[in-house]
Amino acid sequence: QVQLVESGGGLVRPGGSLRLSCTASHFSFSDSYMSWIRQAPGGGLEWVSFIGSSGLYTSSADSVKGRFTTSRDNAKNSLYLDMTSLRAEDTAVYYCARHELENDPFEAWGQGTMVTVSS
Amino acid sequence: QSALTQPPSVSGTPGQRVTISCSGSSSNIGDNPVNWYKQLPRTPPTLLIYTDYRRPSLVPDRFSGSRSGTSASLAISGLESDDEATYFCGAWDVSVNGWVFGGGTRLTVL
């Protein structure tokens, strides 16, 4: 059974930085596209970024472009989201999700990790 | 404001059929298939319908999807109490080179 486990969330001050991790198991991670999707408290879903299977191809939402960087280590079955210049509006649960190709559906989601940006 | 528009809430009684609409534009639904996700409180979303109407193996055929033009819809027949959840539509958007979602529709089973 596909398993995705996020970690690294927490409380951070505005302007601060944080690194989220997503550890994958029970599927071929190196053959999968991966995305980060976030959900503000009581809110809807917002796609943040995706990364291709080799790690060479990434795309991100305008709201995080220039501040967030997505990367992966296929040897460690791990996905990362480096977040800098954090703002209050970045407060959300961050999910990692697996998909076959860039515009394929999100077949599996992690449980999420909460990021709170507050002074 | 979400790129895709869904009604905030719908409701129905057990056994009834309900539909949830999802409206977009030519850069997303007009040119790409729609997926639907179901989310229970304090849990991650799960894939419910993909490529407009296809169902993952464990999803019952009470759930169906369709797409026409720049809109899509999710239909749930034979409503059950376990269907009470929030439903999100999502589609690839060529103008953002990424995904867009609807704001979610909360289904209440009366």
- DSSP secondary structure code for residue A6 in this structure: E
- Distance CA(A10)–CA(B14), nearest Å, equals 41
pLDDT, tens only, B84-102:
999 999 999 999 999 999 9
A95 and B44: CB-CB below 8 Å? yes
**Res. B2: pLDDT tops 90:** no
Mean pLDDT for the stretch of residues B20-41: 97
Average pLDDT for A31-38: 97
pLDDT at A103: 86
Whether the per-residue pLDDT at B1 is higher than 90: the answer is no
CA-nearest of B90, B29, B72, B2 to A40 is B2
CB atoms under 10 Å from CB of A118, counted, come to 10
- How far apart CA B21 and CA A22 sit, in angstroms, is 33
Average pLDDT score over chain A: 97
Partners of B103 on chain A (C-beta within 8 Å) are 44
Over A63-100, what HEC string results?
Answer: CCCCCEEEEEEHHHCEEEEEECCCCHHHCEEEEEEEEC
> What pLDDT score was predicted for residue B6?
98
Query: What tens digit of pLDDT does each residue of A45-91 get?
Result: 999 999 999 999 999 999 999 999 999 999 999 999 999 999 999 99
Which residues between 38 and 97 in chain A have a beta carbon less than 8 angstroms from any beta carbon of chain B? 44-47, 49-50, 59-62, 95
pLDDT 10s digits, B47-83? 999 999 999 999 999 999 999 999 999 999 999 999 9
Side-chain half-sphere exposure of B108, counting CA atoms within 13 A: 6
